[in-house]
Amino acid sequence: MQALYAQLLVGLINGSFYALLSLGLAVIFGMLNIINFAHGALYMMGAFVAYFLLNLGGINYWWALLFAPIIVGIFGMILERTMLQWLTGLDHLYGLLLTFGIALIVQGVFQNYFGSSGLPYAIPDQLKGGMNLGFMFLPVYRGWVVIFSLVVCIATWFLIEKTRLGAYLRAATENPTLVRAFGVNVPRMITLTYGLGVGLAALAGVLSAPINQVRPLMGADLIIVVFAVVVIGGMGSIMGSIITGFALGVIEGLTKYFYPEASNTVVFVLMVLVLLVKPTGLTGRAA
Amino acid sequence: MVEIATADAPAKAASGGNILQVRNLEAWYGESHILHGINFDVNAGEVVTLLGRNGAGKTTTLKSIMGIIGKRTGSVKFNNQDIIRTTSDKIARMGIAFCPEERGIFSSLDVRENLLLPPVVRPGGLPLEQIFDLFPNLKERLNSQGTKLSGGEQQMLAIARILRTGANFLMLDEPTEGLAPVIIQQIGHTIARLKKEGFTILLVEQNFRFASTVADRYYVVEHGKIIDGFSNAELAANMDKLHTYLGV
């Protein structure tokens, strides 16, 4: 039983990263119509920025949670202004190829300087140790990642679905020309949206640094699974991408317990099934 | 030339009463040349209607004024400021509001969000109570999804949401298209009332019987040009010509 709970926890943690990343991808896809293949590289950059802040600037984990998403978000907004914005109106494929190229360049640069091995990032003092819950031992940091990710996901959902700013965002996703003709600076909103999506990826990167170490290819390994999550959940829905992210993490964890051989493929098997039965994804709207 | 403001000319009027001046406006959709030199004026407080057959260039004229047609040349002066090179968000902030033919109700927004979506661009918009007074149906359906409304209600919502913003120059593209006679009548009353409130309205209509109940002046658009213009008083005298123009 202990092992089952442990795998469930691992599943929830992976699910947290899936949710944060697929949420960002969904927001970016909705607004920019771009399948952001650079997402994994930007997640990795989040972890590296946290590492640099700590080791070069003496800035601790808590500030890194704030600054790394902002710094990487600004980097993302520069990418959007200088490159992605020129793809408006073109086929998805162009955005996918461009962001794929960006991902390879960013990863290549980091690999050139840091190789492929991991750099350690210590768990902050306040979150060290563990709690005995009676039925299992919970490392505090892991519990924190799950709860904090959930809070960030729900806050993002609230921002998009329940606020005035979110209404602009949803409306501009449907008809950017008309929203702009109402007096809203839509190009600026698109840039900020990309910054938000990228910032969520960077935040996931910071959260993962103490668990998975900081590696140039940490995003490349993760992003393939995240794209499968997005395909299963459907691109159109914010809540859908959150729930699917956590659910697939848990399913993966359960598979690790019951049939470990399949744990790396279960998500892709589900993806194939969903594509066969409901190609727009479980919660997605038809394109 | 100095003009003396009269009681019935709204205070918002530009100098000389001429709020919109379109000269030699040309526009393209991609490679196809749609407008070939449009010329007309709208005076403050007027309701002016563009008439013409399908594909004549009426909608393109409105979109060009609003700045949402990529390639356009010539001159469009709004309150004496040339806006031919201005982006649509800035044009909206100068006080022009556009209600598109397809209505543009957002399906991912409820009625309240749709209604409150366009930002207030200047003071002087209608307060919500007055908007609900004009369109009582909307008040009852505030929490419905925008696109669950009937066609008539969607049209009312599309008009209602631009009345809040303080824009005093409204462009309505075929507001009566596909609607039942009783709804058309209600929209007619609304336009008459907006005119009384001091709004200036540029209307595109195929239904000139409807237009004749609200318009002060008409321009006829054909093949991307204005080929004729007359006032409401001259309508009867021009009826035969109009039938030929519109092919009805």
Q: Give per-residue pLDDT as tens, A90-100.
A: 888 999 999 99
Set of chain A residues whose Cβ sits within 8 Å of the Cβ of B119: 182-184
**Largest Cα span, chain A:** 60
Q: What are phi and psi of B79, to 5 degrees?
A: 50, 45
Per-residue confidence at A136, pLDDT binned at 50, 70, 90?
confident
Structure-model confidence comparison of residues A3 and A194, the more confident one: A194
Q: What is the ipTM of this complex?
A: 0.89
pLDDT for residue B167? 95
pLDDT for residue B71? 92
Q: Evaluate whether A26 touches A238 at the Cβ level (below 8 Å).
A: yes
Query: At which residue do the structure tokens 């919500």 appear?
Result: B128
pLDDT digit of tens for each residue in chain B (248 aa)? 344 433 333 334 434 478 999 999 999 998 899 999 999 999 999 999 999 998 999 999 999 999 999 899 999 999 999 999 999 999 999 999 999 999 999 999 999 999 999 999 999 899 999 999 999 999 999 999 988 999 999 999 999 999 999 999 999 999 999 999 999 999 999 999 999 999 999 999 988 889 999 999 999 999 999 999 999 989 888 888 888 888 86
Spatial CB neighbours of A5, under 8 Å, sequence gap ≥ 6: A135, A136
Specify the pairing of strand B32-43 against strand B18-29: antiparallel
Tell me the per-residue pLDDT of A238-283, one tens digit each, with 9 for 90 and over.
Answer: 888 899 999 999 999 999 999 999 988 999 999 999 999 988 888 7
Q: Comparing C-alpha atoms, which of A130, A118, A127, A92 is closest to residue A213?
A: A118
Give the mean pLDDT of A26-33: 89
Specify the pairing of strand B169-173 against strand B71-78: unpaired
Give the mean pLDDT of A172-185: 95
Helices (H), A33-121: 39-57, 61-82, 92-114
pLDDT for residue B6? 38
Q: Where are the domains of chain A?
A: 2-120+163-277
Query: At which residue do the structure tokens 């990343």 appear?
Result: A21
Q: Using CB atoms and an 8 Å cut-off, which of residues 135-174 of chain B contact chain A?
A: 162, 165
Among chain A residues, the shortest Cα distance to B121 is held by A183
- Do B106 and A180 lie within an 8 Å CB cutoff? no
Helix (H, G, I), strand (E, B) or coil at B176: coil
Neighbour count for residue B243 (Cβ, 10 Å): 11
**A44 pLDDT higher than 70:** yes
Length of chain A, please?
Answer: 287
- Do A167 and B109 lie within an 8 Å CB cutoff? yes
Mutation target vs B (from A31, A165, A180; most B CBs, 10 A cutoff): A180
- Residue B212 and residue B45: Cα distance in Å, rounded? 16
pTM value? Answer: 0.87
- Do B68 and A173 lie within an 8 Å CB cutoff? no
Tell me the per-residue pLDDT of A200-225, one tens digit each, with 9 for 90 and over.
Answer: 999 999 999 999 999 999 999 899 99
Tell me the per-residue pLDDT of B159-179, one tens digit each, with 9 for 90 and over.
Answer: 999 999 999 999 999 999 999
Q: Evaluate whether B187 touches B176 at the Cβ level (below 8 Å).
A: yes
